[in-house]
Amino acid sequence: MTAKHPEIQSKVQKIHKLYYNGGLQGCGGADKNIEDLKPCPPAGAKGRKPWTNQKIVAGPIGLLIQQINRNAAVLDCTENDFVIRKHREVDISILKTPWQFLGHQIEETAKRCRDQTNAEARTLLENHKCEIDHESLKKAYAKHSEDDQQWLRHYANLGIWDDRKLATFNQDNEGKCSYCGAEKGTAVHLALFCPHFKEERFRGDDELQQVNLAKLPAPMKLGMPVHNMLNDDERL
């Protein structure tokens, strides 16, 4: 907005100041402690109360500040230079970043935030600290048929109705694997560990047997590559 209409920049700064003085969460100053900021859980998840009880905003700048805050970041305007500040991330200047890169940079930050929230909320993700390599994931999916891609996404999104999930509303199901009787009939168990599918699992890729699947980081167990934790160690 300010790139196309630089004449309104001072107006935007005034609006930010009004929100800052009014105590809107997400308005940052140099003194703002960004280390303790938490990302907002997704709609329908527990723990959204601190975000739903926020002050009411009246316009695009207020909404922008709120959205930034929901991604565990603040919009800092102390130097009259709108900078998105987030713990352990490079500052993003809204006014100085070339606009063709700005959207991508912010999207990546939001993705990292979403992945962090999911890791903390979903048991199968084991509270991992990895950074998911979305670019490699996209390239890997492109090598599969449409149908297979759908299944892979379904599995990676924890959308499989495995025995453990079915047991939450079916009293006859104890949550054990219905193929081998293992204690935890999870989707990861079915895909990587269930002895019933051993032959199918390694068909076409014998080398896969040499990988210690149990030691893989949680996202990789769900078929998602990660940037870190791929050292030459006992896992591979």
Q: Which residues of this protein are in contact with Zn ion, per CB under 5 A? A: 177, 179-180, 182, 194
Select 109 or 186, whichever has its Cβ closest to Zn ion.
186
User: DSSP secondary structure string, 21-52?
Assistant: HTT-TTEE-TT---TT--BPPPTTSS--HHHH
For the chain, the straight-line distance linking the first and the last C-alpha, in angstroms and rounded, comes to 48
**31 CB-near residues (< 8 Å, 6+ apart):** none
Q: Which is nearer to Zn ion, 167 or 182 (CB)?
A: 182
Q: How far is the CB of 175 from Zn ion (least distance, A)?
A: 12
Which of residues 83 and 194 has its CB atom nearest to Zn ion in the complex? 194
Give CA 72 to chain center in angstroms.
Answer: 12
Shorter beta-carbon distance to Zn ion: residue 18 or 160: 160
Question: Closest separation between CB of residue 179 and Zn ion, Å?
Answer: 4
CB of 217 to Zn ion, least distance (A): 22
The residue with tokens 């063709």 is 100
CA distance 3 to 79: 18
- Taking the complex as a whole, the smallest distance from the CB of residue 191 to Zn ion amounts, in Å, to 10
